[in-house]
Structure 1
Amino acid sequence: MKKKVLIIGFVWPEPRSSAAGSRMMQLISFFQSQDYKITFASACAKSDNAFDLETINVKRETIALNHSSFDDFIINLNPNLVLFDRFMTEEQFGWRVTEHCPNAIKILDTEDLHFLRRARQRALKENAIISDDYLFSDTTKREIASIYRCDLSLIISTAEMSLLKKRFKIDDSLLLYLPFLIPDLSEEHIKILPTFDERQHFITIGNFLHEPNYDALSYLKHTLWKEIKAKLPHAELHNYGAYASQKINQLHNEREGFLIKGFAEDVDEVMGHAKVLLAPMRFGAGLKGKLFDAMKNGTPFVSTSIGVEGIIENKNQDFVCNTAEDFVTHAIALYQNVQLWDLQQTLGFKILRTQFSKSDFEEKFEKCINELSQNLGIYRQQNFIGQMLQHHTLQSTKYMSKWIEEKNS
């Protein structure tokens, strides 16, 4: 009998709109390679940018929040494995999975650590250095509780693995480092990429609904771009991203060369013809998909320590700039200096090949799932905190959900 996996999505995957959407498609591809029958379910409304999952033989189901109809749905499906897309989804549906499919492996894909992103955002607003006062929030408690309730959590960044293990003392057995799964680039792909002289202009890209992206765009507009434009009067900054609001579109200024381009139908096309990517991320977490799109297309970038977290270990690289002055200086140098540009392009290809090769990580993920399948009872006995959090006296989300359902009936 074919193995069955249920993926419960926080949203329907939009691989052309966000790194989270691309990540989800990578996980779907992995499960298909392992011969799973996949059902993707979500309570979210489906947008026009959502990928048509049925074209790749993934069954699509709409589910309801705080409703016992999910109980019948999962009993009938009876999956071997359930993947929760972000901790909020596990909060909503995890207790129902445990109740009705106790033998299903429960895996949490964190996407990024939400509590870390929010802590950094708050520290930035308050012009403060991030500390335990910011890290030890209610969001932190919720997200880490979700990690404990699951059999395995997928962590996308080495920095986040270190934080969870060292600061929060989470056991190795509950965590798996699984970054973006990047297919190896062929020599043919690299050879046909546009050269330095065939490219022009700067680029930014990112879903405008994601607050770190809007902050970076605003920082570019009001602090960085005028200085760059003054030294490179013929250069333009092309800003791409899904869901551009009126507030975003008002930043468009042709005289300044600051152009809001909106949704990119083909990321590789626009990235491959840009000379330099600018990514001044001042807060955030996880891995930045825009930097992977850049490296894959041979486009050098300028970013920050937070932007390159989990990608670049040596933060002393010239293109890791944490002051406005350094950022402007290096952006201009990279745009003008072909030797510097070539060096960084080559480094990007090396990073993808040595740190994010799809085959290496898929093999580890497969091994981990097989071990869980064979020894699930033993794994769960070793996770006493997870068992404790499943106890009815600590399941506030379960009883809140039941109360909401009763109230709405």
Structure 2
Amino acid sequence: MSPLITDSATPKTAPTALLIAKNWPEPASTAAGRRTLDVLDLIRESGYRVEIASPAESTPFQADLNALGYPTHSIEVNDDGFDAWVRALDPALVIYDRFVMEEQFGWRVRAECPEAMTLLDTSDFHSLREARHRALKTGQPLDLFNDTALREVAAMARCDLVLMISRVEIELLQREFQIPTDRLLYLPFLVRTLPEPADWQRFEDRTHLVMIGGFKHAPNRDAVQWFQRAVWPRVRKQLPEVECHVYGAYADHAVQQWHSPKTGFLIKGRAADALETLSRYRINLAPLRFGAGQKGKILEGWLSGTPTVTTPIGAEAMAPPGDWGYPISDRPDRMAETLVSLYRDKQRWTEVQGRGLDALKSGFSHQHHSGGFIQRLRTVAGRLSEHRHRNIWGRLLWHNQYRATEYMSRWIEAKNRNA
């Protein structure tokens, strides 16, 4: 593990916040990476020194976190060396990036830093995404109460606060899983500065359709395949001169097989700058058939002034169905009809572009959401003992009888030591 590094931008006496990240943030590759940096900025604004630890391998595309003032540390799972390290760091706040990080490190933090407030950043409700994927593949009814849900909701119960990016998922957690309101904290994607429409490329200067999204994310892979198979032939028949360009990090061999110059369907690989790339195209696509949370690709479409056509899953948690300027549908014929109409009709295209700007103003303002986030952190930190006392499910799960993840980790640790 690296030695502790002091962030000169924050007073040395400030309390420390530690992010335990599943992956090093890649803001140029994923919306999740950009959101992570937004969350860290808010935590720093609330008065913490922020440090980041992860068991993941480094990648050439990760953010230069040290240059941003966030010291980084490499950690390992099932390693008791973490215990002494985190005890010395003595964080006042620990953020788990995904529930699997809470499973791996939560019990260690609880043992070594029992007074640290804990925040689970879900990014999206993973078990909802998995349930939708399974229902799509099998044709069976949606089963929210799957094995992943047991783990994810348990991690939520063990933490002091749960950060959610979707109001739809907050309502679902309250209704179906009885998660109390005082444990859920809403924070959407944040936009600090609204774009100026005068700076956007004009309708006449844009051509083709675009799709963007990392291929490690299963909903993105499915969306590309489905669109190419079910929707694109209908569009291409009416717009034979138009191409569809697909951008995304981690396009493996299977993805490359979808590249089809003959039909105008082109796999372009990683986009160096998502907003600059999107700004060249007439229509942005988000044909998602399953998923959860908010959709970075749609936000980027709005920010670049590129009208975005999506499905009910894509629209969820982004804007109400009536606010898009076209009928939201996952039927291939209706999506194709919408795309062709928007591509040809400048007036309708401009209307949909304006709807995207309206959505940015109403739902994603940094100024509107940042203050409430910071105040909530301070309120819970100020009465942490009382807050935890009321969390009966969390107290139950921290009872020795139910600490299976800890004991499994201890067994692996002992096994590795004796190997």
TM-score normalised to structure 2 length: 0.95
The DSSP-based 3-state class of the residue aligned with 2:317 is: coil
Which of these residues, 125, 134, 138, is aligned with residue 113 of structure 1? 125
Q: Which residue of 1 aligns with 2:268?
A: 261
Which of these residues, 296, 306, 315, is aligned with residue 289 of structure 1? 296
Q: Which residue of 2 aligns with 1:29?
A: 41
1:104-253 alignment runs, 5 A limit:
104-130=116-142, 134-186=143-195, 189-253=196-260
Residues 1:401 and 2:413 are matched in the alignment: no
Which of these residues, 318, 323, 331, is aligned with residue 339 of structure 2? 331
Q: Distance in 2 between matches of 1:374 and 1:221?
A: 53
TM-aligned CA deviation for residue 315 of structure 1 = 5.4
Q: Distance in 2 between matches of 1:260 and 1:299?
A: 19
Q: Deviations over 1:314-342 (max 9, x none)?
A: 25852512211101100111111111111
Matched AA of 1:153: V
The DSSP-based 3-state class of the residue aligned with 1:135 is: coil
The DSSP-based 3-state class of the residue aligned with 1:255 is: helix
Q: Which residue of 2 aligns with 1:313?
A: 320
The DSSP-based 3-state class of the residue aligned with 2:156 is: helix
Report how many residues are paired: 404
Q: Distance in 2 between matches of 1:193 and 1:32?
A: 32
Q: Distance in 2 between matches of 1:171 and 1:34?
A: 24
Q: Distance in 2 between matches of 1:138 and 1:128?
A: 16
Q: Which residue of 1 aligns with 2:379?
A: 371
Runs of 5+ consecutive residues of structure 1 not aligned to the other structure = none
| RMSD of aligned residue pairs (Cα, Å) | 1.1
Runs of 5+ consecutive residues of structure 2 not aligned to the other structure = 1-12
Q: Distance in 1 between matches of 2:141 and 2:39?
A: 35
Matched AA of 1:35: G
Q: Distance in 1 between matches of 2:61 and 2:302?
A: 24
Matched AA of 2:396: M
| Contact 2:284/2:306, CA 8 A, preserved across alignment | yes
Matched AA of 2:336: V
| Contact 2:234/2:333, CA 8 A, preserved across alignment | no
1:56-71 alignment runs, 5 A limit:
56-71=68-83
Q: Which residue of 1 aligns with 2:278?
A: 271
Which of these residues, 84, 97, 103, is aligned with residue 72 of structure 1? 84
Residues 1:6 and 2:18 are matched in the alignment: yes
Q: Distance in 2 between matches of 1:137 and 1:315?
A: 32
Q: Distance in 2 between matches of 1:141 and 1:200?
A: 46
The DSSP-based 3-state class of the residue aligned with 1:45 is: coil
The DSSP-based 3-state class of the residue aligned with 1:321 is: coil
Q: Deviations over 1:245-299 (max 9, x none)?
A: 0111111111211010000001111111111011110000011100000001111
The DSSP-based 3-state class of the residue aligned with 2:321 is: coil
TM-aligned CA deviation for residue 46 of structure 1 = 1.2
Q: For the structure 1 residues 319 and 237, does the alpha-carbon distance in structure 2 shift closer, same or farther, using more than 3 Å as the test? A: farther
TM-aligned CA deviation for residue 37 of structure 1 = 1.2
| Contact 1:8/1:84, CA 8 A, preserved across alignment | yes
Residues 1:38 and 2:50 are matched in the alignment: yes
Q: Percent identity?
A: 38
Q: Distance in 1 between matches of 2:371 and 2:294?
A: 21
| Contact 1:183/1:358, CA 8 A, preserved across alignment | yes
